[in-house]
Structure 1
Amino acid sequence: MSTTTDTEVRADLRGLVDRVCADFPDAYWRELDDQLAYPEKFVDALTSTGVLGALVPEEFGGLGLEVGDASVIVEQINRNGGNAAAVHAQLYTMSSVLRHGSDEQRKRYLPKIASGELRLQAFGITEPIAGTDTTKIRTFARRDGDSYILNGQKIWTSRLQHSELMLVLARTTPLEQVARKSHGLSLFLLDLREIEGITVRPIRTMVNHETNEVFYDDVRVPASALVGEEGQGFRYVLDSMNPERILVAAECIGDGRWFVERSSRYATERVVFDRPIGQNQGVQFPIARAHIHVEAADLMRWRAAELFDAGKECGAEANMAKLLAADASWEAANAALQTHGGFGMASEYDIERKFREARLFQIAPISTNLILAHIGQHVLNMPRSF
């Protein structure tokens, strides 16, 4: 099913992703999950189509499409039972470079990011102590002639082992020396092929998702790695968060529709006590309610995308889209597991794998509590909660 917001381009994108995903069925993702392996073949196949350069302007070799178009790509991956988390950062992480990078950075890196020759999938922001309070990060970049010396520690840096480039947020002015705590943070584009001093420690999680703890020990990076102006990195990071929220919401919509379709089919085919279990309202109604909530969340996804693509403020809408879609997909996941009963716990049905993946979106890339705090303070004008 496609939505009424689909254009010809979006319909073509859906068809293209469907064709790629047809070569990577449930068994492929199931085996990767067993091995905790990265979907290298899938990523290569998708990269070869050029769609991961969707948001890179045509002048730099990309497709020059809009966020709404790109959201269809990740939605359809998850709609087919895959996991777009392996590739979604390649779509939006480069936006900081596109919007705030130097001409030299854009010319040097964007064409290769668009083609997939270089992968920019890693973003080092979160730290063990600071957590979601980004302004309290301790990683520090000290200017030393034509270089910066980077020292610190990051956590939850995803896809680093499968990236040639990485963005890192670091303090360049001590917190006690800035007028506002969001000042004095700078963004750096690191070419991982050219630097030394980074130690990567993989973190095993309940889902098959490559993420890492990263240590920076006297990492010397050229001053040309600085994105935009020194001290303005926090603002640049915020700029990239709205498209991230919108794309992740689309992934949740894809998951939600996958769960609803699997549940509906199973409830229709599974016969117990001489009748399809879907004939029982206790089974049918939770699936129907989940479907309603997924479709309603999808409307907010498209509202946020339309605002962003029109160049309008969309922070509230992007956050609401992410929260609604994450909640809807999680509701659909629970309905699917309950519908399948014991078989929902069996790996061969793939429900338990997708169930674990859907749970992640309640806490990442932004927790539901932080979204509620944002809406409470910035939309409803209530006192700041934290």
Structure 2
Amino acid sequence: MDRPGLDALRERTRALCAGFPDEYWRETDRDRRYPQEFVDTLTAAGLLSVLVPTEYGGGGLGVTEASVVVEEINRSGGHSAACHAQLYTMGALLRHGSDRLKDAYLPPIARGELRLQAFSITEAAAGSDTTAIATTATRDGADYVLDGHKNWTSRIAESDLALVLARTAERAADRTRGLTLFLVDLRRVRAEQPEALEVVPVRTMFNYATNQVTYRGLRVPADHVVGEVDAGFRHVVDGWNAERVLLAAEAIGDGYWFVERAVAYASTREVFGRPIGANQGVAFPLADAYMQVRAADLMRYEAARLFDAGEPCGAEANMAKHLAAEASWAAANAALDTHGGNGFVDEYDVERKFRETRLYRVAPVGNNMVKAFVATRVLGLPRSY
């Protein structure tokens, strides 16, 4: 990908990540501790505000550059889940937020004074059918009042702001209508109406800082609507496309990490008098995985290019996410097989990254849902749901 400054950004990110070695990530994973020191370092370096336009003090870069940042975090052995939301939430806020909202919040985000890390959408009953969410937002004077429950809202405890999707009208023939996106200032909520927000941490198989969240009469000023009332689903899609591109880049970073670690191990580990990498049973799965990662990498860049150009990119973003998830999983299994029993030992870090990279086949959208999207929206086949 030939884009001015991309290599320099890659090297800059890599240099910062070098200050957080395997031991750091191993410890935070074991304790399920939020990697605050790492996130603070990226924030101070301006890497979490690369998408904020320069007129607001940000980097003024695109999703292409943001994807390189998260790729390098994962390729270094880290885990971008600690901070990736501040990058992909920008798609909805930048394209649909009012000038007032952008003027009020983007400069302090760019300065590292505010964190926008929470995207509150998913509900247990709705699952992948976002148009079926039941959390409501009812107009009451100058405010909207939010009531409902979200079962996957990550990093809300570490965030100052949250994007929340809620229902403002009954579900109709056009299922995408009737949902509205809100920018919630969590500082104000915690200070003025703490009883309106209940956060219950959820322990997962890897360190993800996710929560169940209940909104009970939470008041949000009407001028904190992002975009148009009842059109929030369409606004969220911009965030989703960015999210798919960025998580594809994370999976690609994982894929490279697995291949590089496995190649190093296979080149030095000797059994029966020779390096195990000389055996085709070890070498071929690694070669296959590497080729899959490289192919997914190309689709990631194509999806990012389209997004940055303001062109439709739903198909490419979804395909990039699918291909990258499958590639990283192939690389993970090849790396685990290469390490044998040592792959299950935490000091080699393969088992940790193995757990982390498994997410991408499920989230932010399951790979079967991607196949359904491509089948119907790209190939024109009849809808299955």
Q: Same fold (TM over 0.5)?
A: yes
1:158 to 135, 154, 160: 154
Q: Counterpart of 2:201 in 1: which secondary structure? A: strand
CA distance in 2, matches of 1:80, 1:368: 25
1:184 to 178, 187, 200: 178
CA distance in 1, matches of 2:53, 2:248: 23
TM-score, scaled relative to structure 1: 0.97
CA distance in 1, matches of 2:19, 2:350: 20
Q: Aligned residue pairs: how many?
A: 380
**Identical pairs, percent:** 59
Matches within 5 A, 1:91-240: 91-175=87-171, 178-195=172-189, 196=193, 197-240=196-239
C-alpha distance after superposition, 1:54-110 (max 9, x if no partner): 111111111111111111100000010000111111112122121111111010001
Structure 1 residues not aligned, in runs of 5+: none
CA distance in 2, matches of 1:190, 1:85: 21
C-alpha distance after superposition, 1:248-302 (max 9, x if no partner): 1111111000000000010010001111111111011101111111111111111
Give, in angstroms, the shift of residue 15 of structure 1.
1.1
Give, in angstroms, the shift of residue 179 of structure 1.
3.9
Q: Counterpart of 1:117 in 2: which secondary structure? A: coil
Matches within 5 A, 1:308-327: 308-327=307-326
- Runs of 4+ residues deviating >2 angstroms: none
Give, in angstroms, the shift of residue 6 of structure 1.
4.4
The more displaced of 319-328 and 96-105 is 96-105
- Which residue in the other structure is 1:83 paired with? 79
Structure 2 residues not aligned, in runs of 5+: none
1:21 to 8, 17, 27: 17
CA distance in 2, matches of 1:187, 1:137: 12
CA distance in 1, matches of 2:280, 2:352: 26
CA distance in 1, matches of 2:93, 2:289: 38
C-alpha distance after superposition, 1:128-182 (max 9, x if no partner): 111111111110011011111110000111111100000100001122xx34121
The more displaced of 73-82 and 87-96 is 87-96
- Which residue in the other structure is 1:276 paired with? 275
Q: Tell me if structure 2 keeps the 8 A contact 1:74–1:84.
A: yes
- Which residue in the other structure is 1:378 paired with? 377
CA distance in 2, matches of 1:167, 1:174: 21
Q: Tell me if structure 2 keeps the 8 A contact 1:90–1:113.
A: no
Q: Counterpart of 1:111 in 2: which secondary structure? A: helix
CA distance in 2, matches of 1:353, 1:313: 36
TM-score, scaled relative to structure 2: 0.97
The yes-or-no answer on 1:70 pairing with 2:69 is: no
CA distance in 2, matches of 1:310, 1:150: 35
